């Protein structure tokens, strides 16, 4: 009996020792993980699988974060739902580690993202998570709230201007902060979804001032588009039937009045889409078809030369921000925008350009005539509108919307989370 009791005691003793050893090993593993703690996590839908405004903005964010991380000893993990291993990604390295989660069928990819992110958050407990699209926000709220991990939701424009599904609104309200690209987008978001305005922070789009520069009109483009002796108005936009808010049709309707004042004007339209036949027919009906040039799709590499061939950039639109205005002004070109959208930020409330009602051809025509008069280099006047002076336009644009300015704003936003 004594022997049996001793055997039971010895057995439980060894079980206890094993459990204790496993506990120490677990604690050691956790301690090692925590020592390698990641500061930030970013979660996006897709960045490298396609090109677009959001993708371009996020790449600017990656560039700036790498500099901020180097200076502050930060590291971040980036989870991307629809990108796959092997994509062209120049940002992967010491400061940004990427997880590509594209899986078919798509529901498996979403499940993979949820499980991968949950595992990472459990073990690493980052200081802050940045949700890169409103569609991901319900998942982020579900994972972060129980773990006490604060999160920020990045928004860009029209995707948050209307009343959102309840789970997305709840995620916005639970977020520590919301980043957006312009005051207008922030106002629309708050009004449509009953969000407190003090939760919103602005991190605007930027322009690469080393890439987008002034220059003489490229003669090859002048010849290609038959622009000799012409004043050139230009728009860069998608020509989609569901996207007519870009205002290309409004500018075509304004051409007859503009041509009365400047008979040599031509309107150069950069972009492609299913709305082109309607726009071509409109130009025919108005008798201005010979003054409208549809250039089709132009690669990013060739875009600067097309800005340089223009005398003014015209887009009476409804934008969340409008990076094309920055590109045009960095190239020293006067700009025209709509007056009830996010373009108020790049145009600095009209200080840098003309803002008119975006569906009013008469107002567009009047402003275009003023721009062409001001841009006429044969007229020298001390009272010439500053908005037509290319060097000044470029200088004022880069003060607020350069890579350097973006980095400083990002530092301020990130460090405010660390204090």
Helix (H) or strand (E) holding 295: strand 292-296
| Helix, strand, coil percentages in the chain from 3-state DSSP, rounded to 5 | 55, 15, 35
Separation of alpha carbons 245 and 201, rounded Å: 26
Q: Determine the 3-state secondary structure of 232 from DSSP.
A: strand
DSSP-assigned letters across all residues of 315-356: E----SS-HHHHHHHHTT--EEEESSSGGGTTTGGGTSSEEE
The structural domains of the chain, ordered by start, are 37-206+403-418 (3.40.50.2000), 219-401 (3.40.50.2000)
Which residues does residue 153 pair with via DSSP β-bridges, in sequence order? 131, 178
On whether the CB atoms of residues 68 and 410 are closer than 8 A, the answer is yes
Separation of alpha carbons 220 and 323, rounded Å: 26
Sequence-distant (6+) residues with CB within 8 A of 56 are 323
Per-residue pLDDT, 244: 81
Average pLDDT by stretches of 10, the chain with 419 residues: 48 51 50 63 96 91 97 96 95 96 94 97 96 98 98 96 98 98 97 97 97 98 98 96 90 98 98 96 98 96 97 96 97 97 97 96 98 74 77 97 97 79
CB atoms within 10 A of CB 191: 12
Per-residue pLDDT, 153: 98
pTM for this predicted structure: 0.87
Separation of alpha carbons 99 and 385, rounded Å: 51
Sequence-distant (6+) residues with CB within 8 A of 191 are none
Q: How far is CA 263 from the centre of its chain?
A: 38
Burial (CB count <10 Å: 0-12, 13-18, 19+), residue 242: exposed
- Give the DSSP letter of residue 181: S
Count Cα atoms within 13 angstroms, Cβ side, for 413. Answer: 28
Separation of alpha carbons 375 and 217, rounded Å: 14
Structure tokens at 344: 């108020």
């Amino acid at each position: 009996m004594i022997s049996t009791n001793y055997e039971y005691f010895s057995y439980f003793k060894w079980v206890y020792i094993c459990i204790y050893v496993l506990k120490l090993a677990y604690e050691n593993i956790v301690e090692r993980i925590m020592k390698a703690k990641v500061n930030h996590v970013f979660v996006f839908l897709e960045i490298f699988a396609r090109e677009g405004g959001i993708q371009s903005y996020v790449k600017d964010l990656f560039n700036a974060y790498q500099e901020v991380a180097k200076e502050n000893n930060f590291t971040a993990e980036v989870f991307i739902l629809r990108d796959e291993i092997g994509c062209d990604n120049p940002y992967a390295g010491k400061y940004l580690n990427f997880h590509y989660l594209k899986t078919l069928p798509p529901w498996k990819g979403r499940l993979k993202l949820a499980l991968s992110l949950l595992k990472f958050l459990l073990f690493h407990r980052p200081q802050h998570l940045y949700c890169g699209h409103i569609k991901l926000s319900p998942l982020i709220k579900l994972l972060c709230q129980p773990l006490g991990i604060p999160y920020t939701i990045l928004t860009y424009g029209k995707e948050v201007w209307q009343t959102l599904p309840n789970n997305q609104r709840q995620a916005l309200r639970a977020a520590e902060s919301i980043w957006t690209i312009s005051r207008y987008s922030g106002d629309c978001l708050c009004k449509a979804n009953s969000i407190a305005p003090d939760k919103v922070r602005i991190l605007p789009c930027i322009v690469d001032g080393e890439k987008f520069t002034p220059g003489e009109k490229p003669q090859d483009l002048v010849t290609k588009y038959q622009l000799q002796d012409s004043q050139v108005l230009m728009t860069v936009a998608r020509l989609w039937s569901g996207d007519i808010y870009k205002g290309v049709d409004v500018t075509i309707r304004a051409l007859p009045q503009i041509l009365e004042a400047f008979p040599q004007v031509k309107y150069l339209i950069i972009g492609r889409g299913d709305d082109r036949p309607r726009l071509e027919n409109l130009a025919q009906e108005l008798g201005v078809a010979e003054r409208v040039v549809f250039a089709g799709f132009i690669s990013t590499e060739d875009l600067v030369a097309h800005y340089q061939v223009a005398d003014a950039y015209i887009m009476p639109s409804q934008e969340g921000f409008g990076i094309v205005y920055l590109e045009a002004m960095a190239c020293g070109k006067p700009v025209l925008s709509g007056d009830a959208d996010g373009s108020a930020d790049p145009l600095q409330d009209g200080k840098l350009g003309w803002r008119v009602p975006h569906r009013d051809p008469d107002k567009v025509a009047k402003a275009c005539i003023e721009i062409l008069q001001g841009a006429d280099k044969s007229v020298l006047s001390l009272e010439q509108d500053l908005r037509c002076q290319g060097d000044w336009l470029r200088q004022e644009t880069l003060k607020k919307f350069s890579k350097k300015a973006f980095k400083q704003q990002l530092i301020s936003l990130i460090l405010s989370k660390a204090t």
